[in-house]
Structure 1
Amino acid sequence: MDLINKLHFLVENGRVDSFPQASQQKVDTALQRIHLLFQEETEAPLTELAHGLRAWTRSHLQAEDIAQVAASATRAREAFSVLVTIGVGGSDLSARVFHDSFNHPYHNSLSVEERGGAPEVYFAGDTFDPRKLSGLLEMLKARGLLDKTLFNVISKSGTTTETMAALMVIRDALDDVNWQQQVLATTGLTADSVLFRMHKQSPFYGDTLLPVPDGVGGRFSAFSPVGLFFLAMTAGKGETPDTRIRAVIEGVSQAQAAFNLAYNHQDNIAYQLARWVHLFEEVDRKGTIVFYNYADSSCLGEWFVQLYTESIQERNGGANVISAKGPTSNHSILNGIIAGPRDKVVLFIHWEELGPDLVLPKETGMDSKLTVFEGLSMTHMQTASYRGTALDFSDNSVPTATLTVSKRDIQSVCQLMRLLMDTIAVKGRLQGLHLDNNGGSELTYLQDGVEGYKQNFRSFLGVGS
């Protein structure tokens, strides 16, 4: 596959060439081994990948799942005016990224026609704080929309307490023996899932379940039905569920093609980025990555925080991640990056095209300190702001690198997300998280640290395990 919309990786300051050759050689030797292991996977059956919790690398190739998502979204768009996604963590963060990146920033304020037939969109099920859920149900009732709302509940086990508590409240609010017909469940397709068992007793909407596939963890589920249903359901003007899904497949396929290149190929950015981060962690003892998304968007950073920290922080290792957005964060965290502890590296996400542009008007008659900006486009100013920030960090000896993305569209963003997932896979193996697990799964794809919280939570409530 030709890499048409290539992402670009550039190290502005903080080249690792000055690190001891022995350290670099050790990492490069490890990368060669890792690359060979991942190449062997290309011929492996899906069941083998699922066993190793790496079936997510083929989510975009599962034609049956994709066709089911497209059909369900097309049908539900005709039947419902509102979509509420109920989930937490990996079950909803990718949908939030998609909404933040691809839908109109004031999506819910537009008319149905202006939205291209897409429903209004809301999120629930990621907290026990009742304020927003209470307000959401109150608003839907007051506007006569509650019975026109589809609730997509997402939980592989069907026991995620934050999510299922919200579903229980929603079930009560619907106050209808047929409440299941307003619920679409995305879950594991075995009797281990509570949602699966509920569906067998009384089917959910469309008499169907969308699968959380075997071997696909939540934070790697963006391109499975977990994320794709939301993306398809909210297709806007000039789009259909099918065209949106095809754009995802194209972007992920581009990333996969790059990942299959030689580990030291200039277009295989996942290996380059993992190498850069790992050497700074191991040699220069940097303990924090600042993920600096240079756009007015927080969701991508929140998604990456979960992806990185829940995957890589194991065995008392792995960096922290701080999410920042430019230039907003220049008026907060920037001071700490420059003047605070020297424990950080910065990864910029730079967008060459942000979408429809605005130009500052001319002849405003305002103060001369402002008129110097007349006639400039805001995208040009955003780029100048990114470059100025990167130069400032470089001048202050802060290690920085940039991932440049051509457009903020579905294909490019999904290509970026898959690249970051692959980077995590490589980084985990550089840390040896696939080794010495007593025959268990690769630690990169587990999250056992949350189990203590769950047990203590239930203990304080006085309920059993």
Structure 2
Amino acid sequence: MINKLYFNPSDKAVQENAFEALCQEQNYIGYYNLPNQDITPLLEYCNTIPDDIETIAVIGIGGSSLGAKAVYEFIKPTKELKRRLCFFESTDPINITTLLSKIDLEKTHFLVISKSGTTIETFSIYKYLYSLQNNASAYTFITDPGSPLEQYAKEIKASVLHLPDNVGGRFSVLSAVGLVPLALCGIDIEALLLGAKSIKESFFNNGYMKDTLLKKAAFYAKHHAQYHINCIFAYSETLKYFCEWYVQLWGESLGKHQRHSAFHVGLTPIGLIGPKDQHSFLQLIMEGTRDKSVTFIKIEDFHDNITIPDITLTHLESLDTLNSLPFSKLINMQCDSVIEALQDQGDIPLDTISVTSVTEKNIGSLIFYYELLTSLVGELIDVNTYDQPGVEAGKIILKKKLEA
């Protein structure tokens, strides 16, 4: 994974202070330790799931589902997986009914994921599914130790797995929350963690990623009032759900009151997919208000060599320049052309991330890269990156409405 910046870095002292802050955070924020975990117990648990299970269904919302979905949808097109993975993550009744129509309840294992053990959306869906399938062996519960959900699971004699200490939901993809459903589908979670570990070691051991991440985070923080919209422009449909994961990570972590002032701050995340969004959002970036930075993500090897046929179409001879061109080359030419066009504007902060191929290791690297970047920017704009009081406020109101 190579990250190239097209903007000037900020004060070196600011960067070093942020780096030291993250070094200290490693002592009490749990996600930093996930790349180095021993996954043997998780793999042993996965081996207990019967071979006749065809579908793994995650019942969870937000951080309980988005990370696993991002990895699964990235890998699925290029690898033959042993099981299907689906996600019950909405209280939309049409969505629930549609998903149920596509699975065999007797050949599905459900993972019920809730850090607190009391997530309303999750348990409204679980109650409905439990009314259809009440065999406790069909469920595994993933939650914090000692939560009400763990107590319930023990009551019905169902399996329970725990989240590690001090790992928030949106940072939990590399814990049991993401690793178990992915492993059950046949995704190589060891390679996933290896990719994350490579970024972690490069950053904390003065490697290439330290300088790159610090420069990028310092620029975002210094200019957060002007360039307060951050766009990922990913040139692959396989990254669609990675963009959704990034939106939650970035928005929920950075949209806050500052710790030492009364100001509201935040950087608005937007996920775009090229070339499709070249025909919609690009116009706003190119000629709209100068309040956006853009990160382009390219894939060098798509594991697919289909080419445009060598065909001449009457009255469309000018398009013969496409003939015999691999689609993988065309999509990256489109990306490069947009980058050049935006560079010519001269006042739009840009950077590019090149991913060598569609593998577990590479998506693991990309995930941990963005987790570190989020922590750095949060430190530099002076917010608590790891809480979400705005989300909790809505939950409190909903509970009062339900009680009434």
Give the TM-score normalised by the residue count of structure 1: 0.80
Structure 2 residue 28 is matched with structure 1 residue 10: no
The number of residues matched between the two structures is: 395
Matches within 5 A, 1:9-408: 9-12=3-6, 15-16=7-8, 24-25=10-11, 28-39=12-23, 49=27, 52=28, 54-63=29-38, 66-76=39-49, 78-104=51-77, 115-116=80-81, 118-124=82-88, 126-140=89-103, 145-174=104-133, 176=134, 179-190=135-146, 193-204=147-158, 208-235=159-186, 244-262=188-206, 268-281=211-224, 285-296=226-237, 297-315=239-257, 316-364=264-312, 367-397=316-346, 398-408=348-358
Determine the C-alpha separation between the residues in 1 that align with 2:155 and 2:401.
Answer: 32
- Residue 319 of structure 1: how far off its partner (Å): 1.1
1:361 is displaced (CA, Å) by 1.7
Distance 1:32 1:68 in 2: 37
Query: Following TM superposition, by how much is the alpha carbon of 1:355 offset from its aligned partner in structure 2, in angstroms?
Result: 2.2
Name the CA shift for 1:418/1:365 in 2 (closer, same or farther; >3 Å): same
Q: 1:223 to 1:130 in 2, by over 3 A?
A: same
Partner of 1:454: 395
Deviation by residue 1:341-368 (Cα, 9 ceiling, x = unmatched): 2211111112212222211122455531
The answer on whether the counterparts of 2:235 and 2:298 sit within 8 Å (CA) in structure 1 is yes
Aligned CA distance change for structure 1 residues 77 and 426 (closer, same or farther; 3 Å)? farther
Distance in 2, matches of 1:32 and 1:157, equals: 35
- How has the CA–CA distance of structure 1 residues 458 and 401 changed in structure 2, closer, same or farther, with 3 Å as cutoff? same
Distance, in Å, in 2 between the alignment partners of 1:453 and 1:40 is 32
Q: Distance in 2 between matches of 1:261 and 1:280?
A: 27
CA contact (8 A) 2:253 2:387 kept: yes
Whether contact under 8 Å (2:199, 2:209) holds in the other structure is: no
Distance 1:447 1:76 in 2: 35
Give the AA of the match of 2:91: F
8 Å CA contact 1:55, 1:216 repeated in 2? yes
The corresponding residue for 1:410 is: 360
Q: Matched residue of 2:77: which SS?
A: coil
Change in Cα spacing, 1:163 to 1:384, as seen in structure 2 (3 Å) is same
The amino acid that maps onto 1:129 is: D
State the AA in 2 paired with 1:87: G
1:440 match? none
Runs of 4+ in 1 over 6 A off after TM superposition: none
Q: Which amino acid aligns with 1:322?
A: I
Q: Using the alignment, how far apart are the partners of 2:269 and 2:22 within structure 1?
A: 26
Q: In structure 1, what residue type is equivalent to 2:248?
A: Q
Q: Which amino acid is the alignment partner of residue 100 of structure 2? A: L
Question: What is the CA distance between 1:166 and its match in structure 2?
Answer: 0.6
Q: Which runs of 5+ in 1 are unaligned?
A: 1-6, 18-23, 43-48, 108-114, 236-240, 434-442
Per the TM alignment, residue 245 of structure 1 is displaced from its structure 2 partner at its CA by 2.0
Offset of 1:67 from its aligned partner? Answer: 1.6
After superposition, the C-alpha distances for 1:435-461 in whole angstroms (9 at most, x for unaligned) are xxxxxxxx1011111122112222333
Q: Is the 8 A contact 1:86 1:163 kept in 2?
A: yes
Give the % identical residues: 24
Q: 1:256 to 1:139 in 2, by over 3 A?
A: closer
* Matched residue SS, 2:224: helix
Distance 1:346 1:295 in 2: 16
How far did residue 211 of structure 1 move?
1.3
- State how far apart, in whole Å, the 1-side matches of 2:25 and 2:243 are: 29
The CA distance in 1 between the partners of 2:281 and 2:311, in whole Å, is: 35
Q: Secondary structure at the match of 1:281?
A: coil
Which deviates the most, 128-137 or 307-316? 128-137
- 1:429 paired residue number: 379
Q: AA paired with 2:370?
A: L
Q: Deviations over 1:300-329 (max 9, x none)?
A: 111111111111111111211111111111
Q: For residues 37 and 170 of structure 2, what CA distance do their matches in structure 1 show?
A: 18
Q: Which amino acid aligns with 1:165?
A: S
Letter in 2 for 1:209: V
Alpha-carbon contact 1:94-1:227 (below 8 Å) kept: yes
